Copies of this chain bind each other. A is one copy, B any other.
Amino acid sequence: MIARMSTLFVRTLREDPADAEVASHKLLVRAGYIRRAAPGIYSWLPLGLRVLGKVEGIIREEMAAIGSQEVHFPALLPREPYEATGRWTEYGDGIFRLKDRKEADYLLGPTHEEMFTLLVKDLYGSYKDLPLAIYQIQTKYRDEARPRAGLLRGREFIMKDSYSFDHTDEGLEAAYQAHRAAYVKVFDRLGFEYVIVKATSGAMGGSASEEFLAVSEAGEDTFVRSPGGYAANVEAVTTLAPEALSYEGVPAAHAEDTPDTPTIQTLVDHLNEAFPREDRPWEAGDTLKNVLLTLRHPDGTVEPLAVGLPGDRDVDIKRLEGQLEPIEVEPMDDVELKKHASLVKGYIGPEALGEKSESGIRYLVDPRVVTGTRWVTGANVEGQHVIDLVAGRDFTPDGTIEAAEVREGDPAPDGSGPLTLARGIEMGHVFQLGRKYADALGLQVLDENGKLVTVTMGSYGIGVTRAVAAVAEGTLDDIGLCWPRNVAPYDLHLVATGKDAAVFEAAAKLAEELKAAGIDVLYDDRPKVSPGVKFKDAELIGVPTIVTVGKGLVEGKIEVKDRKSGEKTEVALDEAVAHLIAVVRD
C-alpha cells in the first residue's frame, strides 16, 4: 500500500511535549504516533496504530505457534469474581471501580485471571479437555498513582494475557516453558535488548515467576546480573546468608554513652574516637540499624513492623513491598511512633522490639544478621548505644526478611559472582499461578480415576502498548525514531524533492511499482515542502529505509539511505525496485 504525506493524518512537531520525560515519549508524540488524551491515557494516530498492529501480529503468530487460542473478554467486569479471590479489596486504589444505574459494582479489568478461570469452568469438566492455553489482546485499566513516561506506565493500555490450564504440575511446567519460549521468540522479533530475570509474583500469587525486561535507563525496574548468568529483578534477589558464628569469648554486651550520634556516620565517628578497635576502624556495617515501618493493608488497616539491618544499607521499600504484596509500606511517622512509649527515637535496640517485647512490634532482620554476629546498636536509652550485642545470644528476632537494598558488587546468591545493577522496562511476565484462582472459584475437572481435582494455572502477560514504547526507546537515536523492520509502520519512506514534475512522476511510478511488489510505502508527495523539512520528518518518523528521488534523477539515479547507519547508496532508477525489494526482505 501507499500512504501519502499530503493526506496522512499526521503533523510532526519540532518541540518536545511539556509533559514528556523519556525520549520515546517525546519522539512518539513529536513524530505523530500518539497524543495524550488524559493523564496516562493516549490516542493513537495512524502511524502509531500501524506499529501497534505489527506488534500484535508478531504476538498472535507466536501464540498460535504454541497452540494458544485467542478469545476476548470485556473490560467492564462485575465485582463478584474479584470478591471471591480477594482482589476487589487487594487492589486498593489501583483499579477503577464504578457502579451501574442499578448500583451494582463493577471494575475496569486490570488483569483477567478470574474471568478466564470462570469461562473454563463454564465450558470444561474433564482432564481430557486439558491442556488448554487461551489468550486475549485487550485493553486494560489501572489507576496508577503516578502514570509516567507516555506508554510505559499508562492507565489505559493494551495487554496480551494468556492463561494455561492443566490438571497436573508437570502439565503446568510444560505450559510455562512453552510460553517462556514463545516470549523469547516475540522479544527477539521485536528487536531490542532484553533480559529474563527471576521475579516475585506480586498480587498474582503463585510460585515460579520470571520477567522479561527491556534493558533501558528509562525503565522503572532495577535488576541485577552476575558474570555467571544469574539475573533477577531486584525485588526477587535473595541474600547469601553467612554461616552462623560461634560467640564464645565475645564480651557481654555493654551500653555506652554516645552523645550527639543521631546518624550512622556520627555514631561510627564517635566509636572510632571513644572506643577504637584494635584490628580495624569501626564501619557502618558494624552497626545494626532498626527501622520502624507502617504496613498498610488494602482494607485500610495498618500494623507496625521493625526491620533490623546492617547500618551500611538502607531499607528498599519497593523490594520490601515486593514480598509483602498487596501491603503498602511507608516509614512510621512520629504520631505512630509516640504510641509506643518503650521506644526511644534514634536509640532503638532489639530488646525493645519483637512480638514478645513491651512494644509487641514484629521484628524481622536482614538475612546477614545470623547467630553469632556482633553489633553496635541502640540501647533504648537516650544518648546510649550498646556494643557487642550478639544475635542469638542477646536477642532473637521474629524472623528474617529481604528488606535491604541490593548493591553493585553484592554476591549473586548462586555463587556466580558479583552483581551489577541495571534498569529495565517490564515487557513480559510469566507465572506459575498454581491452584490459587481455581481454588477460589471452584475450577475442578474429573481426573483419570473419576475424581475431582483442582486445575493448576499459569498466567503469561505482555504489555503490548508498552512494547511499542520499549521498542522505540531501545532503538531511537539523536534525530528521531529508528524502527526495526519488523515493527516499522512502513517498509520504505520515499521522498520526492524539488519542484520538477518529472521527479514527482518518477517517484509516484516507483511507489506504485513497490506497492505492486507488496511493499508498504510512505510517500512524501508534498509539493511545497522543502527537502530539508522532508528529510527531518523522515528521520523523525523513523522508517528504516529512506529513498530519495531528486536531483540525481537527471542522471537516472535515486538515493537509498539506511535510517540507522546513515549509509547512503546511489541506485539506478531502473534497478531501484529490485534493489529495494532486496533491502526490505533482507
CA gap between A139 and B73 in the complex, in Å: 11
- Given A43-B119, A100-B143, residue A74 in contact with residue B8 (CB < 8 A): no
Q: Are A44 and B71 in contact (CB under 8 A)?
A: yes
CA gap between A119 and B75 in the complex, in Å: 24
Q: Are A76 and B141 in contact (CB under 8 A)?
A: yes
Q: Which residue of B lies closest to A92 (CB)?
A: B101
User: Contact mask A26-53 → B, CB, 8 Å, 1/0?
Assistant: 0000001001011001111110010010
Q: Are B44 and A9 in contact (CB under 8 A)?
A: no
Among B37, B43, B71, B75, the residue within 8 A (CB) of A9 is B71
**Interface of A with B (CB < 8 Å)?**
7-11, 32, 35, 37-38, 41-46, 49, 52, 67, 69-78, 93, 96-98, 100-101, 106, 108, 115, 119, 122-124, 132, 134, 139, 141, 143, 145, 155-156
CA gap between A45 and B72 in the complex, in Å: 7
Q: Are A41 and B74 in contact (CB under 8 A)?
A: yes
- Given A78-B38, A124-B11, residue A69 in contact with residue B43 (CB < 8 A): no
- Given A11-B123, A35-B122, A71-B44, residue A76 in contact with residue B155 (CB < 8 A): yes
List 5 additional contacts besides A9-B69, A11-B124, A101-B143; criterion CB under 8 Å. Answer: A37-B77, A41-B78, A49-B70, A74-B156, A139-B139
- Given A67-B7, A139-B139, residue A75 in contact with residue B75 (CB < 8 A): yes
Among B43, B49, B96, B101, the residue within 8 A (CB) of A145 is B101
Q: Which residue of B lies closest to A72 (CB)?
A: B44
Q: Are A37 and B75 in contact (CB under 8 A)?
A: no
Q: Are A72 and B43 in contact (CB under 8 A)?
A: yes
Q: Which residues of B contact A38 (CB under 8 A)?
A: 74, 76-78, 106
Min CB distance, A309 to chain B, in Å?
32
Q: Which residue of B lies closest to A100 (CB)?
A: B143
Q: Which residues of B contact A134 (CB under 8 A)?
A: 9, 46
| Interface pairs (15), CB distance under 8 Å | A7-B67, A9-B132, A9-B134, A11-B124, A38-B74, A38-B76, A38-B77, A38-B78, A45-B71, A46-B71, A49-B70, A76-B156, A96-B98, A100-B143, A139-B139
